[in-house]
Structure formats: structure tokens, C-alpha cells
Structure 1
């Protein structure tokens, strides 16, 4: 039974060999073959084939027949099996070659990919490690293509490159050689900005009150100061110059929110000194400014600071408003209160004069004999928003500085309006 099953398996595996399909009788005499065998009863032994003598009878020749020795004919089954083996070997060789090429191609692809990734990473690291290009503050209007981090925030690339606005401001500045303006304009909707001498240090005058106001609302948010708490006006806090609180008797008390409002709306110097003391003093405020990233905004003396020792720059003032618009430093409610206070500023002879009907500006001015400044957030009727910061060093009380600020404001407004 096993023998027949084995034969059937052989037949199934090699269906192309018909001789193996036939039933084999183990007792039958084997058919003649080119491989003759000699057998005995016990152990059949296959012998090597011997040459056969084949009679070649030619009916056409009358000569005696000649005997020709011929070698045995090859077995077709063996020849076919050899071909099968060769085919399999060739296939194996072809498969091995194909696999080898596929492996090489894959390795090349992986290598190229890793090389591209490594190149990108190294390029990024190289760019990051390169020192940033510094611009010269004394140059004319400079349109930057990129801006390094300012007050812990990143401004987006400029879109005003070679714009008519740039040319107009350049022409205007050249008409006033006795003035030294610093200008920073930032389009909040597109991220575009334009600057000229914006990194120069200027006397801050009353623009120093803007960072003090931000610090005030920070402490309100932290619960260190209450809006309705009372602050006492001490004699050493009373200051001349702008404001009307100086005319009140020492010891008078004001609510904290009222003091902060007067500091901005009427630029009250006495109110400013009261808040400086309430917030911890000059050095505490300077530490706060530095924590915001301010380097040129420094408070050195109480107000009115006629010598101009308190300093800032057009760029840093604009950055204060920018960060407020980005939701930094103070809560949304405090930001709303702060902007509302700045909108109520009474001195409207500078930037507001260049705005069209329906526009609003939240701003803070600064005035000294040798300096005039205004920084603000403008909202146009068409929904456009931009920050404008202009500071002008001038000959003592030179009125042309006012005209320059108003004209710049008008040019910027017209540019964004069109």
C-alpha cells in the first residue's frame, strides 16, 4: 500500500513524465532500455551500459552487411531532468541577481533619504548658529527682510520693500536736516514693518509712562494692587510740568485706577511718581522692563525728568503695543482697560492730526524742549490696524518737529487707506 501511495505521489509531483503514471508490476520483465541490466534473484544490480552492435542492413547495397558499433542512445527522461535542473539553477541565479539589485536600489534610496535629512538638519543648525545681520541705525529708511526677536516676540517679514511709503518718508526726512527722527511702523494685519533709526536711544519724556501703565495692570492681575484701593499723595511725589494733581494738598488720596488714568490722559507727572512708588520703586520697575526684554527703556529719575535721563527707543515702544496685541503680559480685561485709557489721551496735536475721519488711536505722547514723540495703535474705518512710533530729536522747541510727525502720520494713514 505504501508503495502504491509513493508511486502516486511521484506521479502527482511530476505530471509531465507520462511513464511514471503507469502502474508498475514488480514481477514483470523490464522493458528494453538503452540501459540494459543484469539481474540475479537476490540482488538486482544495474550494470554500466555496454556498446551494442547494430546491424545496418542496406537493401540498396549488395555488399555484405557491415556491423557498426554504436553507443547507446541517451535517455530522454534524464535529458529532460537535466534541463529542468538547469532551468531551476538559471531561475535561482536570476532571482539572486534580481534580489541583489533590489537590495542595492533600496540601500541607495535609504542613503539618499538619510543624506537629504542630514543636510537639512545641518543647514538649519548652520543658519541658526550664524550671527544675525545688524542694521545701522544711522542709515536712511531701512526695509528689513527679517527681524530678530523683539521683547520676546517675533515680527514677520516686511512687505513694504521699496514701497511708495518708504520713498515718501525718505523725501520728507531729507527736508528737515536739523531733525533726527526715529520711526517704526508695523502693519498688524500683514506683519509688514518699516523703520528708520528705530533702535537709537531717545530721551523717553512722558512715553516712559506707557511701560509703567503695563506694569500697573500686571500687578492688578496678580492681586498686588486693587483698582479701587487708595494711594496717598506724599509731598515728595508732587511734580511740576504736566498734570493738575500737583495743585492738590499733600495727603490727598486717590483711587489707584484714577491715578493710572491721569498719568496717561493728561500725562500727570505727580500721578506717575505715585505709581512708581506704589509698584516698588525705580529699580523694581527696571527689573520688570528687563524681564520683558527691554534694553533701552530705562527709568532713572522721577518725573518730570527735564534733563532727559529716562530713555527708550521707537522700536521698543512699538514692541510694547505689539505684545499687548498678542495677548502677552496682562489679561484681556486689563488690556481692554489699558487701551481705553490710552484712547482718552488729551494731547492730540501729533499723530491724531494725520488720521482720517472714523479712525481711532490709542497713544501716548512725550514732550521735552529737545524731544517730541508719539506712539500709538491706529484702527482705521476699513478695519486696518497698525502701530506707529515716531520720536524726534530737535533743536530746543523747534516747531518743525510737530509738523514732521503729523506729516508722517498722514502719509502712513493714506498708504494703508489706499
Structure 2
């Protein structure tokens, strides 16, 4: 009605029309100040600004278009983290419609100098609202827009199932993402760590396999397979010698041992030796020299038996290393010096108190290096006695070598021959009676012999001899292996029987040694 006031306290036009939405009131600073006599012009303008029925109908149409445009407008989006997410709007009955207020400003009638311009602006703003049919005006004069809300899913833009106006609120709530159940992996399919022991076992199996293959391949080219059957049997016999158990059966018998090969006798050299021996009519000499490489030899009464004196210690030393190889004696085994084993004449052990202990290797070394008689008796006892040793000597083919009494045996009952001594040294050199390690140790001990008054005196410079002397006054002898600077190796054994402590006996041995060395040096 005319003269009524709106909610803001301003008066509405008398016709009851709603002020134009979106028209901004002109600031007072820009309004034209009233001048005297302008009342008449204002009344005229006010009358002209009253809406006509046509304009009122146009406003209602524009209001309806505004409501339609506002209802189709999209809902606001909210930023949450890095994902854009629609903000759910709770539906409200009826029909999921909501009213949005639109602030309006009451306007006074367009008056003044700029009234025509303001009117044109207002009409232009109203033309923009014609597209929204949901524009409504309440009795207070405010414009509102009615909008039908469409359910929008709150999770990644997915829409819930459409339920119309009666859809429940639960359907519009954000749904929690459900994780698909992980498939359990069988324990057997999981990667297992391999133990270092398994790796070691695999490498061991691989190494054994490669070794078998390599051995099979190399056996096809084994030179031993090209040797005659007789040589193989001889090698087998030599191996059997080192694996026997009983003292008399450690090694093969003499018939199974290859004899030292003596091919051709050196007659010229033999004649020279005979001439030297005949110059001493009261001396009897037995000698044998053999070139190991060529098989040439000189034999002068070589098979004649003589008193062995200390040369009997050579076969005892060979028997000792045989038992070492057989595991019957340890080199560091302690041997006790009993009173019944103490002997005079030679050696230093006799001066030790009875009950003194010595290692087996020390006893064997003293027996050869300084010709200790006590050490010899201790070894004879440890090796099973004289009878057991004699059986072993016979098995080696030493027909003249025998122990009848313990040392010093000044009566000369223990016997041997030059041929037996050379044969024994030949078997040692060829490694037929013992292992190569024991052979090397035996020769090293014999090279340390202190008494060098016999065979070594006839050798030239640079020659090396491993030997053992013997002397009981009436019998003097020397047995050894000589390596010449030229590489030639020969075996020597000389035993001379003569008056007690006659220097001619020792001199004859030196002369024989010199003649043979000079001949082999040519």
C-alpha cells in the first residue's frame, strides 16, 4: 500500500511495485542538490517514474527467468588437499528446493540531472535477469531464487543411486573407499635365503665332478699305460714293499726286487785296480763300483764276505726308515738308553746316564754321523732285534749281510760284502725300499758323516758323497754314493782286510777311489 515501509525502514512506491534488483543507489555526494523552485519538477518526474501495468508484467517475467537461471547454477566447490571435491548439500523437503536470498537496495525515484541515465542502467540490469524464472519477491521487498538441488556424490564425482525426492540422507554421505583384499602369497613361493653351507656343498660337488672328468681325460694320455706289463708288475712289487705289516714282510723278497743293472764291466779300470791291490800282498780287498746311468761297473772280489765293522749300520738305517714309513716308529718317539745297550769305542751317548731319553731321529742320526755304537744298539733293540733284521736283510737280497753281535763287535762277527752294500745303495737310490721323503732324509744324514778319511780323499773338487765308514783295526771299509760335478752318479763300496791299524789299508781305499773318479771324469 502507499506509504508502507519495507524492512529497512524505507518507503515503497505507492503502487506497491518492487524496486529494481541489482540497481545501486547513487551516492549522495553525486546527487544534484535541491534548489528552490524544484519541487514542481520533482513531482513531475516522480509521476513519470511510476511503473505502468506493462512494466510490472515485465518485471514479474524477469523475476521468473532469474529463478530458473539460479536453480541451474552449479554448486560451489571446496579445495581439500590436492583433490577437488564437491561439497555435499543436505537435501531439504519439499522437492529438494532451497531459497537463496538476494540482497536488494531500495531506490528512490530517479530524479535530478542524471535520472534518465540511471533509468537506462536499471532497464539494462533487468534485462540480464530475464533468463531466471525462479526470481521471487517476498513481502519485505527482498528477491529470492528457488533452486532444485540435485544429489551430488561427495566421493570422486560418483553419483549415488537416484531415489527421487524420497532418497535418504545416507545415500548422499561420502562413501569410504574399500580396499580389495590382498591375495596371500604361499610361503613356498616366497624367496628364501640360501645358506652359505649349501653354497659350499654345491661348490664341493662341482669340484669333485670336474676332478673326475679331468682324471678320466688325463688317464687316456697316461704314459704309464704304455709301459710293458713286466714294468708295471715291478712297480707294484715296489709299492707292496712299503705296505707290509710284519717286520719280516714289509717289502718284497729279493726275487721280486729288480737287481742293480750292471751291463758291461770296465776291464781297463779293473786292471788298474788289480795292479794297486797286488802291490800289497798282505792286504785283501773287495770292491765294486757301478755307474748308475750307464750300468758300467768294476767288480773286484765284490761277493767276498768281510767283517762289516760300522758299515753294518747302513742296512740298520734303511730298516729304521722302513718302519717310519710303515708307521711303526715316529721320528719324535722317545727311546730310553738302557744300561745293557751302552757301548764303548765310538760315540758320545755312552757318557750319558742310563735312562736318558733321545728321539728316534736323533738316535739314527748319531749312529751314522759319529758312528755311535750305543745308538746302534738302541735301534737294533727298537727294530725287533738282530734276528728280525737279518730276515729283512735276506729279503732285500743281501746274502752276506748279517748281525751276530751287538756293537762294537771288535771280533768282527757281523759280516757283509761290497756287492751287498752297492746293491743296498742302489735300492735306496731307486726308491725301492722306502718313500722318497725317507730316502732323501737318509742320504742327507749320510752326507753329514764326520769321518772323511777314506773314499772322500780320492774325489775331485765339487763332488758330493753320502757314505758310511767302518773300522775295527783289521777291517776297514767305506760305502757310499758319489755325485760328480758333471752330473754323473756312481756307487762305491770298498772293504780291506789287513794288519791291525795298518795305514796301507786306508791308503788302498783312497787309491781305488781316486782311480775310479778320474776314469768317470773323462
Instruction: Specify which of 315, 320, 324 is matched with residue 216 of structure 1.
Output: 320
Q: How many residues align?
A: 269
- Aligned residues of 1:361 and 1:376 also touching (Cα < 8 A): yes
**What is residue 321 of structure 1 aligned with on the other side?**
425
The correspondence for 2:369, drawn from 262, 265, 270, is 265
In 1, Cα distance between the equivalents of 2:409 and 2:256?
Answer: 25
Please tell me whether residue 249 in structure 1 is matched to residue 366 in structure 2. Answer: no
- Please name the residue that 1:281 is paired with: 385
Match of residue 491, structure 2, among 363, 375, 387: 387
Tell me the residue number matched to 2:258: 153
Listed as ranges, the matches of 1:366-385 within 5 Å are 366-385=470-489
1:336 alignment partner, one of 412, 421, 440: 440
Q: Tell me the residue number matched to 1:365.
A: 469
Counterparts of 1:78-93 in structure 2, within 5 Å, are: none
User: Is residue 260–residue 427 contact of structure 2 (8 Å, CA) maintained in 1?
Assistant: no
Cα distance in 1 between the residues matched to 2:412 and 2:426 = 25
TM-fit CA distance, 1:150: 8.3
Deviation at 1:168, TM superposition (A): 1.4
Which structure is richer in relative contact order (CA contacts within 8 A, separation 6 or more)? 1
1:183–1:195 CA contact under 8 A, matched in 2: yes
Contact 2:348 2:372 in 1 (8 A): yes
Aligned residues of 2:260 and 2:426 also touching (Cα < 8 A)? no
Distance, in Å, in 2 between the alignment partners of 1:383 and 1:228 is 35
Matches within 5 A, 1:72-151: none
- Matching of residues 34-53 of structure 1 within 5 Å: none
Out of 267, 279, 289, which is 1:185 matched to? 289
Larger-gyration structure (1/2): 2
Alpha carbons of structure 1 residues 150 and 197: separation in structure 2 relative to 1, 3 Å: farther
Pair 1:232 & 2:339 matched: no
Task: Tell me the residue number matched to 1:8.
Answer: none
Distance 1:260 1:273 in 2: 10
Cα distance in 2, alignment partners of residues 157 and 282 from structure 1: 31
Query: Do the aligned residues in 2 keep the contact of 1:243 with 1:267 (CA within 8 Å)?
Result: yes
Deviations 1:218-268 (A, max 9, x none): 000000000001000000000001101000100000000000000000000
Kept in 1, the 8 Å contact 2:310–2:469? The answer is yes
In structure 2, the CA distance between the partners of 1:242 and 1:151, relative to structure 1 (3 Å rule), is farther
**Paired residues of 1:158 and 1:194 also in contact (CA < 8 A):** no
- For structure 2, which runs of at least 5 residues remain unmatched after alignment? 1-253
CA offset at residue 167 of structure 1?
Answer: 2.2
Deviation at 1:193, TM superposition (A): 1.2
Distance 2:299 2:330 in 1: 38
| Aligned counterparts of 1:266 and 1:369: Cα–Cα separation in 2 | 17
Is 1:198 matched up with 2:302?
yes
**In structure 2, distance between residues paired with 1:159 and 1:414:** 18
- SS of 1:362's partner is strand
Q: CA deviation at 1:207?
A: 0.4
Is 1:307 the equivalent of 2:411? yes
Structure 2 counterpart of 1:162: 267
The Cα RMSD (Å) is 1.3
How far apart are the structure 2 equivalents of 1:383 and 1:150? Answer: 31
Deviation at 1:151, TM superposition (A): 8.6
Aligned to 2:172: none
**Shift, 1:155, TM fit:** 3.4
Q: SS of 1:363's equivalent?
A: strand
SS of the equivalent of 2:377 reads: helix
CA apart distance, 1:402: 0.7
Residue by residue over 1:286-324, the C-alpha shift from the partner in whole angstroms, topping out at 9 and shown as x without a partner, is: 111111122110001100000000000010011100011
Residues in 2 aligned to 1:365 and 1:151: alpha-carbon distance in whole angstroms: 29
Partner of 1:31: none
TM-score, length-normalised on structure 1? 0.63
Taking a change above 3 Å as real, the CA distance of residues 151 and 204 of structure 1, as seen in their structure-2 partners, is farther
Runs of 4 or more consecutive aligned structure 1 residues displaced over 2 Å after TM superposition: 149-163
CA contact (8 A) 2:266 2:297 kept: no
Distance apart, 1:343 and its partner CA: 0.2
* Residue 415 (1) aligns with residue 522 (2): no
Equivalents in 2 of 1:381, 1:277: separation in Å?
40
Does structure 2 retain, via aligned residues, the 8 Å contact 1:151–1:292? no
